[in-house]
């Protein structure tokens, strides 16, 4: 079985999938040393944490927009039980009225709104790879749209909050000066508007895009999408002969010559009518079980090229049961 050299399509795909799974704490190692009960508890704790952060951001954004935070903090400033508490409340009030705080809060609210569906999908115990890949694509597209068209809308919205509550609006055309205020730090060619647009708004979105690209590169997304065509789950619901053919042609050219690809296409025509509807292959849930089933039913002799492709796919980390659990908890 030839998987090529270090720079072959297969090797690059393996690296992409391995990078995709490199999460803080090495999930594979952690899962292998945890009981099923511990894994379920940690998964529930992670979901609860993410949900609480999301809801807290929404709640704070609502409070800032409605002005509730003024009432709460001002009452603490006036009626706090200690001078330190009154001082902290006053400091928080000043920060929460600042343009930087309100702008950044609503910016993150918009970004989290875009990435929320993908984050939720990656937490599901049973992961639908095709659906997740679709969400990766839509998330990337929405972030691009937000970067290109979202700043002006966000700026107008934040300024409308200032106007609504009679707070002096920051002059966005004034020159931006760094926090030190030293003349040598003066950005003569940059306005406050440009600072928020390029240094904060664009930078935050670029960070999200880079993170998505590092975990879901185009090569890894295509590989996983094509590989899913072999998945027997839900009675081969994802089966697509053309995708399986393309998987062999594009990612394993060293194993499938033009002649082998011709025979592979013929085998796929029979496979579609035979294996997919055969009682022995119904209710299978993993590619691993499919591989064993082909051997146990002796159908491997008729579909040797499909079996070869399945075995190559099984060398990818995401094909193993442990990796599937790891991928679903990212």
pLDDT at 305: 97
Q: What per-residue confidence (pLDDT) applies to 209?
A: 93
Q: Global pTM? A: 0.64
pLDDT tens-place string over residues 93-102:
778 778 888 8
Q: Which residues contact 33 (CB under 8 A, 6 or more apart)?
A: none
Q: Do the Cβ atoms of 276 and 256 come closer than 8 Å?
A: no
Using CA of residue 55, residue 56, residue 59, residue 60, what is the dihedral sign? negative
Helix, strand, or coil (residue 305): helix
pLDDT at 53: 56
Distance CA 106, CA 155 (A): 10
**Tokens 């569906």 correspond to what residue?**
117
Task: Give residue 327's pLDDT.
Answer: 38
Q: How far apart are the first and last CA of the chain?
A: 31
Size of the chain in residues = 330
SS3 260: helix
What is the rounded CA–CA span in Å between residue 56 and residue 135? 24
pLDDT of residue 63: 56
- Write the CB contacts of 216 (distance below 8 Å, at least 6 apart in sequence): 20, 133, 136
- Look at residue 72 in the predicted model and tell me its pLDDT: 65
Low-confidence ranges of the chain (pLDDT < 50): 20-21, 23-32, 69, 179-180, 182-183, 187, 318-330
DSSP structural state of residue 36: H
Q: Which residue has the tokens 């004034």?
A: 174
Q: How far is CA 215 from CA 136, 259, 264, 284, in A?
A: 10, 35, 31, 29
* pLDDT of 97: 78
pLDDT of res. 276: 94
The pLDDT of residue 52 is: 56
Longest dimension (CA), the chain: 84
> How far apart are alpha carbons 76 and 89 in whole angstroms?
6
β-bridge partners, 175: 191
Distance between CA atoms of residues 177 and 194, nearest Å: 12
Residue 122 is predicted with a pLDDT of: 79
């Amino acid at each position: 079985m030839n998987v090529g050299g270090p720079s072959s399509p297969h090797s690059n795909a393996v690296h992409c999938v391995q990078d995709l799974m490199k999460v803080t704490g090495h999930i594979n190692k952690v899962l292998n040393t945890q009981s099923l009960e511990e894994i379920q508890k940690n998964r529930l704790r992670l979901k609860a944490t993410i949900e609480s952060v999301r809801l807290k951001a929404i709640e704070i954004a609502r409070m800032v927009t409605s002005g509730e935070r003024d009432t709460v903090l001002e009452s603490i400033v006036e009626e706090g039980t200690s001078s330190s508490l009154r001082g902290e409340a006053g400091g928080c009030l000043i920060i929460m009225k600042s343009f930087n705080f309100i702008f950044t809060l609503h910016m993150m609210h918009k970004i989290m709104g875009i990435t929320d569906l993908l984050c939720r999908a990656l937490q599901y115990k049973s992961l639908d790879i095709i659906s997740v890949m679709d969400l990766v694509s839509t998330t990337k597209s929405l972030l691009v749209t937000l970067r290109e068209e979202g700043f002006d809308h966000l700026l107008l919205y934040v300024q409308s909050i200032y106007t609504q509550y009679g707070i002096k609006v920051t002059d966005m055309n004034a020159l931006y000066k760094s926090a030190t205020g030293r003349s040598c730090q003066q950005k003569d060619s940059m306005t406050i508007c440009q600072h928020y647009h390029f240094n904060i708004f664009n930078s935050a979105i670029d960070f999200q895009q880079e993170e998505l690209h590092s975990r879901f590169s185009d090569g890894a997304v295509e590989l996983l999408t094509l590989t899913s065509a072999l998945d027997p789950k839900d009675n081969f619901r994802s089966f697509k002969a053309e995708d399986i053919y393309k998987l062999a042609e594009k990612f394993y050219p060293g194993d499938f010559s033009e002649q082998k690809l011709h025979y592979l296409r013929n085998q796929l025509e029979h496979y579609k009518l035979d294996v997919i509807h055969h009682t022995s292959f119904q209710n299978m849930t993993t590619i691993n079980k499919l591989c064993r089933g082909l051997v146990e039913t002796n159908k491997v002799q008729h579909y040797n090229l499909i079996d070869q492709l399945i075995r190559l796919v099984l060398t990818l980390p995401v094909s193993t049961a442990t990796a599937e659990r790891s991928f679903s908890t990212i």
